[in-house]
A and B are shown apart, each in its own frame.
Chain A
């Protein structure tokens, strides 16, 4: 028979991965619940996963590509911005979802024990479906513009891993903070918008002044977006944009794991 010991904990500890694994079925059902609940009772259902990024791209194309004439490195602006919006909308979506995941499920947290990390994790996973669907749209655009991806796409999994670590890392930190400080929820909506302009979504990295380039590349999303663009448009991989962001993403992820675990013990008391 297994022995359970309950006593006050203190200090910084890593997430209990063994326990997390035991609850993998819960993660699965929460992820499914997230997907089903999001598109329940809507006419277009999962179609919204296509419409949302596509319309944003169209708006950007008209406003920034057409009216403001932002330089898109000589490629069709619509493709240029969609390649960035594809990872970006996943990033911003998971950020908002996971940051709110604990507060939205406060009823569960105060009534039953399970590894709390499951909640932000499931937000991240349930958004993967949208991410996959908007990838199909991307393929359609590539075919339409007759662009053949270069060998750089082999790095796509690594770039996506960086995207996941960055989303989850920030998601863990923000969700843990949001339990105690509800300000996170309100601040997040416009911070996400601000962040959009801190990454090369609507403009090209060539617009960034030389002396600011390193600081700029610390944003993990810069490397993700530039790497994806280079891969699909057959250009040399811009490693100088990628590696600083990779380090930051790993740091965010590791710090997130510890921070979440540390804050976890007061969740039920302050939620």
Chain B
């Protein structure tokens, strides 16, 4: 199935942000301003919904956004705070109108921008299920039918006839999500709401999300800052930046673009400066070689030791962009312990064949001994590994869900 289910064309949304208040220099001025305040307030509040010319108080939350979503696609929308993600979702879910542009959607839409909308603390869990369900567009009949399932999923059946005000916040969230999980729209719009509840419940929600998207083939638009979750759930991605579409493609490329965008604002220094109070520390690290799959890399540590003699171990490790550990080179694993002399020392390590597939990674550096950490640089440097060959004359390896790859011997048994 590849029919277009959502078609967004040149969508723009303009907001008016509050103008800065005028400041008075004298008491009389202040008094005069206060007297004039009602008139000023009236003009300002009235103009909240009106726009004439371009002014400084006008803010474009979305500008000329166009994209299409196919039937059954799970689209992850990412971007920094204020990039326009929530505005886009609000327009898609009809909460607010666009300033210009047009959207065509085929099918029933349910939007989940918040868990438990409409919950009233004085009502019981059961009553709130009906409240929340009907707000989300379900009918009483539909809820009647699914009530047991909803209560069961929430895991609060013991307290279902207790007013919600006595619930813990976690219970409230679980109940809210359970209602939402039992919606049956053709298009589901979800804002960062899965990051709630305890770990177990989160896993349950994720499972439900996978069911919804993969087994039931529904179209899902999903906003989250949890990149691991995005990679898991989404196939394609949309990167928003200041109201514009910055990138559109598969989810991995989109996330890489997003991280690149964030990281480009940070500065990386080769010389490590945070050495205060440390007895043994890494002064510098020199890299030589190329970050490419199967590539050879030499690292030279400059280490300074303030103590007399000390036995230490080193670790160079790589983690993926969301911080997941991927690969480690630890001298201890090789049985190597280095005796440092007082003052400057140099330690070399060579990585013969880098087993990472193409993508962006962080290098972490560690120096210590027997569980004792002398110096640790998490996310010391961000690197990009290019696609290469893991065996000589083999094919170029590219990312296929797993960051670390290794050669193995593959054979077909005859007979």
Residues of A within 8 A of B (CB): 1-9, 23, 25-26, 28-30, 32-33, 36-37, 40-41, 105, 107-114, 180-181, 265-266, 268-270
Contacts and interface: CB of A to CB of B under 8 A. Distances in A.
Given A26-B135, A29-B134, A5 B103 contact: yes
B111 interface: yes
A25 B99 CA distance: 31
Contact of B45 (A25, A28, A32, A181): A181
A113 B98 contact: no
B92 A6 contact: yes
Contacts of B130: 29
Interface in B70-126: 90-109, 111, 113-114, 117-118, 120, 122-123
A34 B280 CA distance: 67
Interface of B: 15, 45-46, 48-49, 90-109, 111, 113-114, 117-118, 120, 122-123, 127, 130-131, 134-140, 163, 186
B140 A25 contact: yes
A6 B9 CA distance: 10
Given A6-B98, A268-B95, 5 more contacts: A6-B105, A7-B103, A25-B140, A107-B117, A114-B137
Given A2-B108, A4-B105, A108 B135 contact: yes
B117 A7 contact: no
A37 B44 CA distance: 35
Contacts of B163: 40
20 contacts: A1-B106, A3-B106, A4-B94, A4-B103, A4-B106, A8-B99, A25-B138, A29-B130, A29-B140, A32-B127, A33-B131, A37-B123, A40-B122, A108-B118, A112-B93, A112-B135, A113-B93, A181-B45, A265-B97, A268-B95
Contacts of A8: 97-101
A1 B136 CA distance: 19
A270 B44 CA distance: 12
B102 A23 contact: no
B48 A180 contact: yes
B113 A111 contact: yes
Nearest to A112: B117
A1 B92 contact: no
Contact of B49 (A1, A4, A107, A270): A270
A197 to B, nearest CB: 26
A9 B139 CA distance: 28
Contacts of B109: 4
Contact of B135 (A3, A9, A114, A265): A114
A6 B97 contact: yes
Contacts of B111: 112-113
A2 B135 contact: no
A269 B15 contact: yes
Nearest to A37: B122
Contacts of A30: 131
